[in-house]
Amino acid sequence: MTVRRRRAAGTATLTALALLLGGCAGPAGEDTDDGRSSRSSDDEAPRTKPRLLGDGSTAVTGRQPHQPVPARIEPGAKPPQFVVFSWDGAGEDGNRLFSRFRKLAKEYDASMTYFLSGIYLLPEEERARYHPPGHSVGASDIGYLDDEDIRATLEQLRLAWLDGSEVGTHFNGHFCGPGGVGSWSVQEWKSEIRQSKYFVQHWKTTTGWKGMPPLPFDYDKELIGGRTPCLEGRDNLLPAARDMGFRYDSSGNGTQVWPGKEEGLWDLPLQQIPMPGRAFETLSMDYNFLANQSGTVKGDPARRAYWERQWHDGLLQGFRRAYEGNRAPMIIGNHFEQWNGGIYMDGLAEVIKTVCPLEDVRCVSFKQLVDWLDVQDPRVLAKLRTLGVGEKPKGGWEQFLAGKAARPVAPSAAAPPAAPDAR
């Protein structure tokens, strides 16, 4: 892994990587811009005087800037094409990847979701504050960031929220496989969520950095969703997350169809998308392409250009299938990583530049997507869910959404099969 840490991030072999679906990071840097964006319909920054919360690590600063106002689809209109770019781990190190993609999002009128690993704000000398279910106190399979990287992560989180992006959770210690998150009970998941919140809400206590500005949001209200490590443990996470105020989950294995709810939460899974040149599809995440390409973070340099095109083109094929078909929201997951020489970061950057400026495309955070879903007529969403992957409505959108909407139906609970070698 490329994150600079004081302690090794678990096992550094590909065996461990095969369990590692989150928790990477990107640059330390003195980014001091003010997070403004021309795309907002709101004020450029909160105007109310900050009201500090707890030890001053977070604050109520007013309405988040740059949030679109959700509205119902007009009868006979074509739905917008939503695209969500999301990041597992969401820490900042010397590779400057958090900074890179935060700035790229601003340039291309996009919001993103950053799934923060809570212990990325916890100094290693304070690791005894973390009590992971089923593991020793302070244990973590992703290690801890050093002080410089914690400071940089705090700065990027602050700016990202002011840009209009979302801070979700990737939880904490990233335990996968036997004894990991897949074995946790509902109560153990609640403990993990409470601790995720604590590390965000008390970083001034754990670091002693009283002079740094607070994160400009109330994390009790900001935190409405996440993605589990390795996409494991979802069955018991959902009731725990619902009870603790979450509105969505993005831990599933799905297809490119319109989402429904499960356990009262919007189910917004990673999606099976084409893998050009292969006879199967795989999940819309950098790791899953890597697992089916090199099987290691340092594959054959002579193959990297091909792998980058395969990743880039697979994302675009999945996008076009939705954009020209059923208009289902496209969900993309990533890590701040330099696997195979950074090809997944470079390929993704080109995808952002290509799709976000297109007509009817909205590059949004998960929070913005569920805000939009929540205001739609349930009968309209039910009708949209009748469209299969890439299926265009017969007679066109004007006819499809102009007539009497279908009665609400429960989405299928059956998960699609995983692609070969995908996790």
**11-44 pLDDT tens trace:** 233 333 333 333 333 333 333 333 333 344 444 4
Return mean pLDDT, the chain: 88
Domain boundary assignment for the chain: 14-32+55-61+71-400
Q: How many helices (H) and strands (E) does the chain have?
A: 13, 15
Assign 116 a pLDDT band (cuts: 50, 70, 90): very high
Pair 297, 14: CB distance under 8 Å: yes
User: With b meaning 16 or more CB within 10 Å and e meaning fewer, what string describes 188-197?
Assistant: bbbebbebbb
Note the pLDDT tens digit of each residue in 329-358.
999 999 999 999 999 999 999 999 999 999
Whats the size of the chain, residue-wise? 423
* The pLDDT value given to residue 336: 97
Assign 46 a pLDDT band (cuts: 50, 70, 90): low
Helices (H), 326-401: 343-355, 366-375, 378-384, 396-400
Share of the chain above pLDDT 70, in %: 84
CATH number corresponding to 14-32+55-61+71-400: 3.20.20.370
Average pLDDT over residues 389-395: 96
Closest CA to 376 of 213, 248, 260: 260
Q: pTM of the prediction?
A: 0.86
Nearest 5°: the CA angle 335, 327, 365 is: 35
Assign 45 a pLDDT band (cuts: 50, 70, 90): low
CA 79 centroid distance within chain: 22
